[in-house]
Amino acid sequence: MKTRRFLHVTLLAGAVALVLPFPANAAEGGPSEGQPEGQAHRDAGRQGEYINDTIINARVTTALANVNGIEPADIKVETRDGLVHITGFVASQSANEEAMIAVRQIDGVRDVKNEMVVRPRK
C-alpha cells in the first residue's frame, strides 16, 4: 500500500515538474519576443522560485506519504518561498512529530507551519 502511494505521489510530482512553463530563451538570458530588456531575467527568477517551491512541495508530499500514521489524502501541503504549510489529520502525535522531522530535512525548506491535527483512526 505504501509503495503504491509513493509511486502515485512520485509520478504526480514528476508530471507537475514537466508541465511548468519555461521560456525558450531563459537559458540564454535574453528577453522573450516583445519583452523589454531585463524583463526575461526577472521573469526567469520568478519561475525559478516557482519551480523550486513545486519541487519542495512534491518532496514534502512524498516524505509525508512514507510516514506511518499519515494518509496522503488527509493532508494538504502548500509551499511559498520555501515556507511549508501543512494542514490535515494524522493518526497520532508520534506520526506528527515524525512528519516534522522528515519535512525539516528536505533541501529548500526554510520553515514549517504545522497545523496537522491528531485524529486517531477508528
Fold of 2-118: Helix Hairpins (1.10.287)
Looking at per-residue confidence, does 74 or 48 come out higher?
74
CB 17 within 8 A of CB 54: yes
Domain boundaries, the chain: 2-118
- Name the pTM for this structure: 0.61
Looking at per-residue confidence, does 64 or 49 come out higher?
64
Q: CA-CA distance, 100 to 94, in Å (whole number)? A: 10
Rounding to the nearest 10 degrees, give the CA dihedral for residues 14, 16, 18, 21. -160
Indicate if the pLDDT at residue 36 is higher than 90.
no
